[in-house]
Every structure is written in C-alpha cells, then in structure tokens.
Amino acid sequence: MIAIIDYDAGNIKSVEKALLYLGQEVKITSAPSEILSADKVILPGVGAFGDAMEKLKERHLDDVIRKVTEKGTPFLGICLGLQLLFERSDEAKGVEGLGILEGEICRIPACEGLKIPHMGWNSLHLEHNGRLFKNVDEQAYVYFVHSYYLKAKDENIVKASTEYGVHIHASVEKGNIFACQFHPEKSSEVGLQILKNFVELEER
C-alpha cells in the first residue's frame, strides 16, 4: 500500500488519481500507524512552507516522516513536499524544515521577462543516474508551479535540474528518499513514468 500523507496541504487527489491509474493500492491518511506500515509513502504539497510545517507538527507527522525515512521505506516528496525535507526556506524565516536533507529553499529572483510564480512546462537536465528517471529522456518536459527553489548542499543528490532565471535543483535522491519540485502527477506520460519508477522501487 502507498500512503499519501494528508496534512491539509492540497493536491492530494491528483496524486491519488495518477497512482490508481498505475494500478496501485493507495491510502490518503494522517494516521501514524498507517503511514509507518505503508510500503511506500508520498508527501505532496501546495502552499506555504511555514503553514505546512505548522500543520505537520500539530499532527505529530514531522516525527512520523523522520521515522519512515530512517527505516528505509521509499519516500517521495512532491513540490512543497520536496521543500519541507530541507532545513529552511526564504518563504518562512526562522521556521525550521524537517532537516532530513541538507540545503535551503530560496526565492526565485526577479528577472525581466520571467513571471513568478514559475508556472508551466520546463525541460529537465538529468544527472547522476537517478532511479526516478529510468526510461525518461534527457530534456523531457514536466510541469512546475512554484516561487521558491531548492539549493541542495550536496549536489551529488541532485538527479535533475532546470533553468528559470536561476539554476534549480528539480529532483533529488538520497538512499530511500526521493523528491521532485515539479508535479509528476500533472506531467503527462513523462510524469506517469516517473511515478511508475517510484512504485516499482524496492527497499534498500
């Protein structure tokens, strides 16, 4: 069973729909026991970094997420779910992220001709043989909606990047932990392939 963590941070149904299309058993849940016993776990998210961290802590899901990642369960953060895995964000000064991965979330700089939030399709540059990108072509297009971007401390965990006025770390992988700034569930056939690669992962 794949658990989708429910913490009132949006975009859950589209993730569920994509996984059901791939023939997976899916449970939207905030119950620690269900999340901890799941075969795989997804942390989606649309919204503000500070509000999301507050909601996770209110439900004690921050500790649950740490336990899941520590015990080797394949874990996928999507959009805000990626950002929350890191240490801090320009969007919420003074608010600590989950700190499971090292790095910071920065505001996309204002550039002439580029709208913020970054909303739309961008191509990916694939790096370091990321397991999420098996059978995905270099320069494949995926769908983004964000005003903040990841700058990972260790660039070796970065498996895909893109450009939007700045170099953006678009996807990371470290052991059993995976995350995408873009929305695979909204990225057509490419996104479905990425999700398929995730559901076919074995625990390490």
Q: ∠ at Cα 47 (11, 7), nearest 5°?
A: 60
* CA-CA-CA-CA torsion sign (51, 47, 197, 151): negative
Distance CA(196)–CA(134), nearest Å, equals 10
CB atoms within 10 A of CB 171: 28
CB 38 within 8 A of CB 73: yes
CA-wise closest residue to 100 among 6, 186, 178: 178
Residue 20 CA to residue 116 CA, distance in Å, equals 32
Nearest to 146 by CA among 129, 126, 165: 165
Residues designated catalytic: 79, 183, 185
